[in-house]
């Protein structure tokens, strides 16, 4: 497992990396893949970018025999007995399985598809989880998950920042219990992304020549529960 993860990291380093929309997410967060939240008002651009977004995962499958999304889907099928698939609209699949490159952290925010995906298939889910796998060992870079869920519209009106647009004033979680997640590389972690959460910056080693934090690499996506209707079964959707 560890050797496979090291090989995944080598393929990752050789792959072209982009970034989230810097008008929405700042400081810059590098990524291989695309995010629906960057294209809320532009479905055509999102779906036309899906094929290229799978470039690194395609290399993992072809060169290493690792299909990370199918592994997650298989685990979900075994655990739930439900249909599990990539989210899709008009016969076009969403993307799932973004690789993120984070060094300076991610600010306090929440993710909830019924709000961010209004008018998309994912907007019909009634519950949502996020899975994450850390790909490389790093000092620090812990995830803080707060016992405080996002509520509409009052939280956006009172606490959402003008910039960056995805983030919230940290006072929104004052007085709330929290869970600190210090992941082990290669392990699979789940949490409810509607709970406010943040990723702390990686620690800078005292002997670091550049005096800059190392980069934390993860692969992740969302999973949403779509209740069955019109003869369709209960379904778990994957996307990002």
Q: Give the containing element (helix H, strand E) for 164.
A: none
**Residue 47: per-residue pLDDT:** 96
Count of domains for the chain: 1
> 146 by DSSP, 3-state: which?
strand
- Residue 156 sits in a domain whose CATH number is 2.60.120.620
pTM (predicted TM-score): 0.87
Residue 82: DSSP 8-state: S
State how far the Cα of 110 lies from the Cα of 115, in Å rounded to an integer: 11
End-to-end CA distance of the chain: 25
Residue-range definition of the domain harbouring residue 101? 2-239
The values of phi and psi at residue 223, to 5°, are -130, 125
Burial class from Cβ neighbours inside 10 Å (0-12, 13-18, 19+) for residue 49 reads: middle
State how far the Cα of 235 lies from the Cα of 196, in Å rounded to an integer: 25
Dig out the tokens for 50 from the structure: 């899906």
Q: Of the candidates 187, 197, 198, which has an alpha carbon nearest to the alpha carbon of residue 220?
A: 187
The owner of tokens 């999973």 is 223
**Residue 14: per-residue pLDDT:** 45
Q: Of the candidates 94, 110, 107, 91, which has an alpha carbon nearest to the alpha carbon of residue 35?
A: 94
Q: Which residues of 107-131 are buried (b: 16+ CB within 10 A; e: fewer)?
A: bbbbbbbbebbeebbbebbeebbbb
Low-confidence ranges of the chain (pLDDT < 70): 1-17, 19-24, 208-210
Bond preceding residue 137 cis, omega within 30 of 0 = no
**Residue 26: per-residue pLDDT:** 72
State how far the Cα of 16 lies from the Cα of 174, in Å rounded to an integer: 39
**Residue 25: per-residue pLDDT:** 74
């Amino acid at each position: 497992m560890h050797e496979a993860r090291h090989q995944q990291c080598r393929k990752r380093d050789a792959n072209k990396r982009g970034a989230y929309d810097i008008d929405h997410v700042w400081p810059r967060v590098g990524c291989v893949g695309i995010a629906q939240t960057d294209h809320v008002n532009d479905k055509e651009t999102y779906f036309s970018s899906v094929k290229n977004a799978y470039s690194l995962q395609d290399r993992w499958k072809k060169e290493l025999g690792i299909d990370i999304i199918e592994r997650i889907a298989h685990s979900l099928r075994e655990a739930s007995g439900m249909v599990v698939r990539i989210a899709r609209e008009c016969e076009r699949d969403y993307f799932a399985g973004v690789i993120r490159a984070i060094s300076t952290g991610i600010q306090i925010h929440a993710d909830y598809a019924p709000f961010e995906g209004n008018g998309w298939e994912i907007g019909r889910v009634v519950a949502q989880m996020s899975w994450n796998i850390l790909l490389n060992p790093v000092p620090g870079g812990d995830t803080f998950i707060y016992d405080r869920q996002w509520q509409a519209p009052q939280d956006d009106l009172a606490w959402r920042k003008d910039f960056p647009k995805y983030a919230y004033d940290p006072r929104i979680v004052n007085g709330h219990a929290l869970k600190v997640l210090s992941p082990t590389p290669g392990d699979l972690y789940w949490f409810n992304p509607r709970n406010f959460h943040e990723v702390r910056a990686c620690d800078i080693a005292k002997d670091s020549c550049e005096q800059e934090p190392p980069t934390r690499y993860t692969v992740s996506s969302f999973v949403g529960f779509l209740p069955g209707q019109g003869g369709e079964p209960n379904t778990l959707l994957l996307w990002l």
